[in-house]
């Protein structure tokens, strides 16, 4: 079984409820998470979104193939009202595969590790919280090192209402 690392988040609708629903649907698909970060509130990244996001990293163990994982996560996004109209636009739910063990995949429909891990503070903060010593298979740096090395100055805060 491989370590599957996901980040979930959104900035539209009832953000807390949608995160909770995403957690529950992902548990139905992958079992209970091995680790989960606190919930973080983050400013939009990428230039097209307007509202603040809630984000959380979840770590599962799975023996599903990466393409099957992608199908399942996209199904969860769709169930939670995701519409893919604008790249990096506002959304109810986004689920990205950050890592799948040490696997490296570079296909048009799926890239693992996620190509923007090292550029996004909203990913690095919760990732370094739960897996600080995990080594990025391409960059050969730990998540904690990637966070320290990040030039992204986006504001990322532990969400005050977080139940974690």
Residue 77 lies in a domain: yes
pLDDT at 163 over 90: no
| Domain-located, residue 139 | no
pLDDT band at 164 (very low <50, low <70, confident <90, very high): very low
Q: Does 135 map to a domain?
A: no
Rounded Cα gap, residues 63 and 25, in angstroms: 18
- Is the residue at 41 inside a domain? yes
DSSP state of 106: E
Rounded Cα distance between 52 and 31, Å, is 29
Q: Catalytic residue positions?
A: 82, 91, 94, 96
Quote the pLDDT of residue 92.
87
Cα(160)–Cα(32) distance, rounded to whole angstroms? 24
What integer is the mean pLDDT of 61-83?
92
Indicate whether 75 belongs to any domain. Answer: yes
Residue 153 included in any domain: no
Q: CB atoms < 10 A from the CB of 18, how many?
A: 22
CATH of the domain at 95: 3.30.70.560
Q: How many domains does the chain have?
A: 1
User: pLDDT (tens digit, 9 = 90+) per residue, 73-124?
Assistant: 999 999 998 666 655 567 889 999 999 999 999 999 999 999 999 999 999 9
Give the integer Cα–Cα distance in Å for 11 and 90: 6
Q: What is the pTM of this model?
A: 0.92
Q: And the tokens for 9? A: 């988040």
Q: Is residue 133 part of a domain?
A: no
Residue 60: pLDDT band with limits 50, 70, 90: very high
**pLDDT average, residue stretch 47-53:** 75
How far does CA 75 lie from the centroid of its chain? 15
Q: Which domain holds residue 52?
A: 2-116
- Contact between 53 and 72 (Cβ < 8 Å): no
Average pLDDT, the chain: 91
For 82, residues 6+ apart whose C-beta sits below 8 A from its C-beta are 91, 92, 93, 94
pLDDT at 47 (0 to 100): 60
Q: Which two tokens stand for residue 139?
A: 């960059």
């Amino acid at each position: 079984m491989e370590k599957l690392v996901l980040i979930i988040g959104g900035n539209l609708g009832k953000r807390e409820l949608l995160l909770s629903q995403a957690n529950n649907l992902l548990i139905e698909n992958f079992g209970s998470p091995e680790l989960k970060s606190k919930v973080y509130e983050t400013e939009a990244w990428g230039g097209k979104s307007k509202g603040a996001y809630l984000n959380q990293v979840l770590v599962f163990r799975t023996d599903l193939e990466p393409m099957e994982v992608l199908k399942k996560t996209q199904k969860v996004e769709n169930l939670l009202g995701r519409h893919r109209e604008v790249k990096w636009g506002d959304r109810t739910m986004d689920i990205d595969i950050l890592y799948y063990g040490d696997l490296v995949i570079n296909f048009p429909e799926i890239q693992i590790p996620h190509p923007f891990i090292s550029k996004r503070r909203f990913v690095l903060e919760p990732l370094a919280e739960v897996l600080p010593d995990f080594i990025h298979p391409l960059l050969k740096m730990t998540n904690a090192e990637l966070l320290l090395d990040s030039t992204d100055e986006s504001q990322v805060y532990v969400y005050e209402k977080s139940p974690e």
